[in-house]
Structure 1
């Protein structure tokens, strides 16, 4: 699929001098359900809310990217105090869409009409480029998805949680539900986007839901996912044990494993070994984030190779609990490998 074919829609939300926040335009279309979610995400409707210049998230398998601007004089926008440009897309690439949204925002600020924005959007769809001497240029091929995957900092994650990072690693390896709380959206986005890199072998950022509200539609959509990393700015989520297996309280540097997940998440000698390995890699001052990700990935592949070597060819290269028991692993290791085989679809049911 061409990079330009990944975009789905372009929308515009305005806050006027009467403090009313409304959808004013979109192209080609956005469902009423998604409009409601995006209106909530842009935060323009909230009183005394900090303006978030850029944020991103996922809802119903659609990524959204929102740039919000306070209108400055002189401008063609006479009755507007703030506006948000919203791009929805099929792919995860915050840096790409932040750059594109900046160009679109400058266009709207200058002309006060969505016509130029739509022309820029169509230019990117058809040619992969949007050029303007006065509003800046955007070239879609400048933004590799691999760079988006590498942009989060695992070193920062390990710096905050140390050996407890193994809990996050185990949860993601077993496709568990990880909920992260922080009152500041920017901190939440930065932290959560790094976590899927702990399981780099999957290169799956679709598990990331970095900005979720405690809203019935959003929560029901989240619950449809097998495993996820979900970010919340409302501490009330701590009491919603139906939403998580692992709860991360970022301001308190605290990780809590839910009662239901404790058996699958039981730690043993293997976890300690992996935890020390991750800590050592991240604490190496000469190691870049990309190198830390690579080192953890190599370690993960070793574990998966060993797991696959246990699979029985007579069982269509699937693993059985009986095969694991024959190896006489310590209980925590056997338990982890069993659940990992299930997560990697190597288990014979």
Structure 2
């Protein structure tokens, strides 16, 4: 039997667009709920008015990750009445590269044989053996794609280069488990940018906060509201008017970051923030430093801040910090506010 990592897969589904322009969910193994199926259909570019083909998108809904690969049907093929189709994989883990590679193999199988049976066989092979082999299509091995690679796949250097010292706002928001919303009209740009942000709080290695492709419908927003803090991506420009959904708003095309009125007190910037921001910028600007090294530089600084916070907590009753404790230290107002909210985020605050 395959290792634990293959048990992370939940389902494989198929959406088709026929010669009449109709889009249908035609097959799934083993199953998905009706609610999730509706969400997946809304994410599939075949159901959108736009003629643009999104080759690969991914996201999260109610703690289930989805990965959608869409292809146009070309001759020769067994699919005579289908113009496009999408393979939909659902899973418990965040690993876009793994599921993109696997779905490409499944796409080639379906294009050649025109039957979901072959796809189901490939899916079960990966589920049970951790690999899927096909003479013409090459092979797919689960062990080639570990979680660490997925976490490091984006470019934190690009993020810091784009926003410079303002990157500290993103760092602070994630440290304090705030709600970060990112907008760009192109979904590919949203996915590329948002997937990197959880790396700013590397000590948590928590990509469950990532919701990179959200639509402004009540079902998805209700799911989002259940989260304490998040990074959410939107293509709808209307999101800029929904301040009830964000503490920090990132306008990606214009490289602008806005802090909402409600979050301004917690997001006060002081010397500590300037020091961290400067470290981020200098590390990212260093030509010889890789993205992994930049993440490590930020992580080392984070651990230093957390160590100081923990030592403060250890001096307190039940190892929990109070506002009084912080006031006795006479920190600058911005530092005091940051440490107070950080203690809450790290569950070190006495309530």
Q: 1:1-349 residue pairs with structure 2 within 5 A?
A: 2-313=4-315, 315-349=317-351
Measure how far apart 1:318 and its partner are.
Answer: 1.3
- CA deviations on 1:26-47 (whole Å, 9 max, x unpaired) are 0000111011110010110223
Distance 2:336 2:240 in 1: 30
Q: Which ranges in structure 2 are unaligned for 5 or more consecutive residues? A: none
Any idea what SS the aligned residue of 1:345 has? coil
Larger CA deviation: 129-138 vs 82-91: 129-138
Query: Structure 1: 5+ residue runs without aligned partners?
Result: none
User: How far apart are the structure 2 equivalents of 1:183 and 1:137?
Assistant: 35
Instruction: Show CA shifts across 1:194-220 (max 9, x none).
Output: 000000000000000001011110011
Matches of 2:239 and 2:50 in 1, distance apart?
Answer: 23
SS of residue in 1 equivalent to 2:220: helix
CA distance in 2 between counterparts of 1:196 and 1:153 reads 12
2:26 aligned counterpart, secondary structure = strand
Q: CA offsets, 1:127-148, max 9 Å, x none?
A: 0010001122100001010010
Count of aligned pairs between the two proteins: 349
Q: TM-score, normalised by structure 1?
A: 0.99
CA RMSD of aligned residues (A): 0.8
Q: What is the distance in 1 between the residues matched to 2:219 and 2:185?
A: 21
Alpha-carbon separation, structure 2, partners of 1:79 and 1:148:
37
* 1:314 Cα deviation after fit: 5.2
- The TM-score normalised by the length of structure 2 is 0.98
Offset at residue 313 of structure 1 (A): 4.7
Provide the rounded CA distance (Å) in 1 between the counterparts of 2:291 and 2:253: 23
Give every structure 1 segment of 4 or more consecutive aligned residues whose post-TM-superposition deviation is greater than 3 Å: none
